[in-house]
Structures are given as C-alpha cells and as structure tokens.
A = this chain, B = another copy of it.
Amino acid sequence: LAEGQSGPRTVRELGEFGLIDRISRGVARTTDRVVVGIGDDTAALRVTPGCLLLATCDVQVEGVHFIVARTTPELLGRKALAVNLSDVAAMGGIPRFALVSLGLPASTTVDFVDGLYVGLRAEADALGVTLVGGNVSSTRDAIFVDVTLLGEVESDRVVHRSGAKPGDRLIVTGHPGDSAGGLALVLDPTIAAPGEIAEPLLLAHRCPTPRVAAGRAAAGTGLVHAMIDISDGLAGDLGHIAEASLVGAVVYADKLSLSDALIALGGLLDRDPLDWALRGGEDYELLIAVPPAGEAAVLEAIGATGLAAATIGEILPPDEGLTLAYPDGRRVALAAEAFRHF
C-alpha cells in the first residue's frame, strides 16, 4: 500500500457484500424503464409496446479472450459490453439493459474491479444502457465477465441473417481485419510497429466500437435483407448468412475496405492483410445484404452516422458457394474459417 492509501486491496479483503455495494454505486436503481434495478431478486423492466425484446450474452474469459497484463480493466469493461452491443446492432435494435455476471479469484484487486466498472459504465452511458443486475461469484483462478444485453426493436424493423437473396449487394462497415492486426501485436510484443500503425489496430482489438447507430440507420431504411456482425470474421459470418439464407456469395478482393494501418502492418510482417480481414474475427463491424435498388440509400444512411461503409461483394445463388474474386479474374474458394474455441 502506498503511503496515505487505505481500504481493502483485494476482493477477499472487501468481501462479497462489500463488493456488491461497491459495484452498485453510481448505478441508477430506477428509471422510466427500470421499475426494479439492482438489489432485488430480479430486475423488473418495461419494454416499449410494439417492440420485440432482443436478448444476447457473451463472455470474456481471462487467458482466452484477454490477458490481464495486456489490456486495462477499463478497456476490458468496455469490450465486454461492446461485443454484446454489436449483436443488438446487427438486429437493427436499440440496446437498453445489461446484466453483468462476474467471476473473480479472491486475489483480484479492488482496483481491477473498480476499473472494470468504470469501463462498463462508460460504454453503457455512451449507448443509453442501464446496468440492471448481475451476479458475483468466486472462481479458482481465472476472471470471467459475462454480459447479458437486452434491447428492443420495432416488430416490423427486426433484421435477420436469413433474408439475403441472389443479386443483393454486400456492404461492410468500417475496416475489417483491424482487430486481428491488433491481436497480432498483442500476441507478439516484440513487433516494432510505429504508433500510427499500432495504435488504431490495438484500439480496434482492445476496445471495439459497436455499430449501433449504423445498424439502426441501416434497418431504418426498411430495405435491408440480412445483417450480421462479423465477430467470427468476415468469411465466417458471410458463411452464417449464406447458410441461414441458403445462398452463395462473392467478395471482391480489391473492394475490401482495409485500413492504411492494416496494410502497413501487412507490409511490415510480410503478411497478406486480406487474411486478417477475411478470417481474423473479433471485428465488430456489420455485414449487410441489400438489393441493388437499396444500396445507395443504405450507404447514405450509414454514412450519415459518421461511419464509412463500402460495397464489397454480392449474394449469388447457392450453387456458387463462397468465393473471393481478384481483379485479374482469379476466383478462389472462400473457406469460412472462423475463430474456433475448441
């Protein structure tokens, strides 16, 4: 303990109920939408009449999704919520409520937990989400942060994975592959990349920005046939659309909106940045299928939210499979290799 500091240093010293009190501080207990918040057996929440409830959960596990020494608790908190926000965005929805289930070894520092909640609250506040409940548990040796996110969407505006049709244009937001580039830097700290390359890629990996406004804008056009977030990698998630919609697709290699930083890192490491963009995973961009007549309107609606988006391919009949087309006419099968946990 530094001189002048006091108070519990670890979760063990703080105790379970002290921990719950601490993480409940500064969390609104009730709002117009939250009739019962943190502090009862369950939360009790109002869903807007005419809206469907959206529900999703995703976990960050120490040693699997993150390494404590290579991120900060604040960024981890933001990311734990952001990966779920991205799923609500992909349905065209508005995120509303989050529950946080936290698993902590007793030796976890109170500073870590405080930082984690700074990140969770910052991300929640930025998107208008209220933390309405959760759970803390001890674990033997690894931290996990499991977030359930609830949102809502007008019944006639919900966008599935399964509506893509041959001829649809494929639009992607942002710069796919940046997260995988950042991961390459995280996994090998000996790579000497200049700040203008490393910083945007590390940020994309450690603190992805969920595309909630863009998803909402795209769905709001009423023109979108299918939408998904590309957290499993562009190729993998295009595979999910293809499977659910019973279609094939082509991606144009020269249309993929790679960032300058990713192209530069590819040069530095003698790697093809297309690999990161297609198979990297943990990009939280949106992949959208829209009929040709709607392409301009969707690009414009997304652009109006301040985010870049580009048309990168086309939906084909199912017997065409998934292919990557190069400008010289070569076509190669696009293996839908996603990150696999096992």
Contact = CB atoms under 8 A, between A and B. Distances in A.
Interface in A133-175: 133-142, 144, 146, 148-151, 153, 155, 158, 160-162
A65 to B, nearest CB: 7
**What range describes how many residues of A lie at the interface?**
35 or more
A55 B133 contact: yes
A244 B338 CA distance: 48
The 8 closest A-B pairs by CB, nearest first: A42-B56, A41-B90, A41-B87, A148-B148, A138-B341, A42-B54, A45-B53, A16-B341
Interface string A101-137: 1011010000000000000000000000000111111
A9 interface: no
Contacts of A134: 57
Contact of A158 (B36, B90, B341): B36
Contacts of A103: 59, 61, 144
A270 interface: no
A49 interface: yes
A37 B162 CA distance: 13
A55 B42 contact: yes
A177 to B, nearest CB: 20
B55 A138 contact: no
Max chain B Cβ within 10 angstroms of own Cβ: one of A45, A58, A151, A155: A45
Contact of A139 (B39, B61, B104, B244): B61
A35 interface: yes
A32 interface: no
A35 B52 CA distance: 8
Contacts of A15: 340, 342
A63 to B, nearest CB: 5
A299 interface: no
A223 to B, nearest CB: 19
B41 A97 contact: no
B99 A57 contact: yes
